[in-house]
Amino acid sequence: MQKQLQFERIAQAIEYIQQNFKDQPNLDEVAAHVHLSPAHFQRLFTEWAGTSPKKFLQFISLQHAKKILEHDHSILDATFDTGLSSSSRLHDLFIQIEGMTPAEYKNGGAQLVIEYRFAETLFGQVFIASTQKGICAITFADHKDLALQQLVAKFPNAQFVEGENDLQNNALSAFNVHVNSHEQALPKIKLHLKGTDFQLKVWESLLKIPAGQLVSYGDLAEQIGNAKASRAVGTAIGSNPVAFLIPCHRVIQATGALGEYHWGRHRKTAMIGWEVGHCYE
């Protein structure tokens, strides 16, 4: 089954589980909702998530999220200060952010040539775009026309060309690497982003959150040296132009609630559950 269709079924199942969480729907009920037999659904879900629907349900529960937050808080200082965990080291070495200069986005990006295309991933179709220096956008593209229109609005005078290149392929490879894989499995990924100094600082901090771990908005604000800036941090996270690679999905509410997500709450849940499941299995 192609990735897009597979994720659509998974997303429907996750949304149903979230809506009926208090009733703890069983395998037969969830499978019926997505119009599959229990055996087929179990096989499809396990193939995608790396764990059973039952365990996945545990991984995305409020109680489990709270447990991760409490456990991770004690090691976050070391993670942010040294980047010694394998996941952090991977991101520090292989995902590099370069902020655009004022000249590069002056006059609506008139000096920029932006190459773009659409691709399928584990979490749905994405719109990916790059300048000569690096990736400038990755967004989940449930509506193709809208994804392109939003980037054109950001750089109205740039030259847009549909096409594929190595910068894009390197970035897309991150969606296909097991979260516990050795860092050598990933090529270097370069990001070329338009943002304020504060936004760039928040986005760079997000790269240091290892896969399978979660932080609260307050924790992240504290790590960037401004404990009272959790609201501003939340705004910067909401402006993240590079989905998944800059892992804003790993930031949740202090209560353990996963919270909303620019590209859909079901997708955030899917990414957290997929990462936590692979780390705990």
Catalytic residue numbers, as ranges: 248
Helices (H), the chain: 3-19, 27-33, 38-49, 53-59, 62-82, 86-94, 102-109, 144-154, 166-173, 197-206, 217-223, 230-238, 265-280
Burial class (CB in 10 A: 0-12, 13-18, 19+), 24: exposed
Phi-psi region of 21 (alpha: psi -120 to 50; beta: other; left: phi over 0): alpha
Amino acid at position 267, single letter: R
Three-state secondary-structure class, residue 117 = strand
Measured between alpha carbons, how far apart are the two ends of the chain, in Å?
24
- What are the residues whose beta carbons fall under 8 Å from the beta carbon of 70, sequence distance 6 or more? none
Q: Rounded to whole angstroms, how far apart are CA atoms 119 and 117?
A: 7
Cα dihedral 147→153→155→156 (10° resolution): 120
How does strand 215-216 pair with strand 251-252? parallel
